[in-house]
Amino acid sequence: MKILVCISNVPDTTSKISFTDNNTKLNTSGIQFIIGPYDEYALSRAIELKEAAGGTVTVLNVGEADTEPTIRKALAIGADDAIRVNAFPKDAFYVASQIAAIAKSENYDLILMGRESIDYNSGLVHGLVGELLGIPSVSPVMKLDVEGGKAVMSREIEGGKEIVEASLPLVAGCQEPIAEWKIPNMRGIMSARTKPLKVVEPASVTDNIKLLNYELPAPKGACKMIDASTPEKLFDLLKNEAKVL
């Protein structure tokens, strides 16, 4: 089985977010970048599938040269090779178009990625890739098994889960507990240096969205504690101070 895992390079969840260049760019100074945690689950499942049934796992990242440590980590975890599309990942459509451009010529059986990246959290890329390639896309997938050219997946839905089946090739947006989270070992880290990492130039894509600027959400106000024996105080504050009643 030939599996493509698309990974995003995102700020660590503990990062303090700020902007530069008139609030048009993320201030990356002091920020540690990681593989998108949902993408990491997708990668872990891909490696489990490869270990069980053979095949190859290729990781793909759309990003500039500074994302290579993140890609190397994916190789250390167990991917066989990597492709970096040498471009800044402007928006979901741009990234999806780059993934589709690579996938068109490679005939992957499975294209896995996280249900969303944890920077913009738009959760669009898997659906767009499916559309661009004309193949099924399913998300969020919590369980994925492949048998006889078909994938059986368990999908989270409101208040329960849905079991779906689709023929390969397909795109899946993954989340835990799809696989046991994998930590690279020392041998993986050592071998990651010698695994192939191919850099390709981006396909030309029309700009649909222009970013004007970023704004941080308003800081959280102080928390007011109200004694449980005085619910009328809560009512008063909600009505007269917060004005939500």
Partner 1 sequence: MNFDLNENQQMIARMVQDFGQRSIKPHVMEWDEKQEFPVPLFKKLGELGLMGVLVPETYGGAGFSYFEYITAIKEISKIDGAIGLSVAAHNSLCTGHILSFGNEDQKKKYLPKLASAEFIGAWGLTEPNTGSDAGNMRTVAVQDGDYWIINGSKNFITHGKSGDIAVVITRTGNPGEHRCSTAFIIEKGTPGFSAGKKENKLGMRASETTELIFDNVRVHKDQMLGSKGDGFVQAMKVLDGGRISIAALSLGIAEGAFDAALKYSQERQQFNKPIASFQGISFKLAEMATELEAATLLTLKAADMKIKGMHMTKEAAMAKYYASEVAVKVANEAVQIFGGYGYTKDFPVEKFYRDAKLCTIGEGTSEIQKIVISKNLIN
User: Which residues bind to partner 1, rule: CB under 8 A?
Assistant: 34, 69, 72-73, 76, 183-187, 189-190, 192-193
Considering only CA atoms, which of 186, 139, 182, 128 is closest in space to residue 164? 139
Start-to-end CA span in the chain (Å): 57
Q: Output 50 or 72, the one with its CB closest to partner 1.
A: 72
Contact assessment for residue 106 and residue 129, using Cβ atoms and an 8 Å cutoff: no
In the complex, minimum distance from the CB of residue 80 to partner 1, in angstroms, rounded to a whole number: 18
Q: Output 76 or 146, the one with its CB closest to partner 1.
A: 76
Q: Indicate the residue type of 73.
A: K
Q: Output 122 or 185, the one with its CB closest to partner 1.
A: 185
In the complex, minimum distance from the CB of residue 183 to partner 1, in angstroms, rounded to a whole number: 5
In the complex, minimum distance from the CB of residue 68 to partner 1, in angstroms, rounded to a whole number: 8
Q: Output 70 or 97, the one with its CB closest to partner 1.
A: 70
In the complex, minimum distance from the CB of residue 101 to partner 1, in angstroms, rounded to a whole number: 28
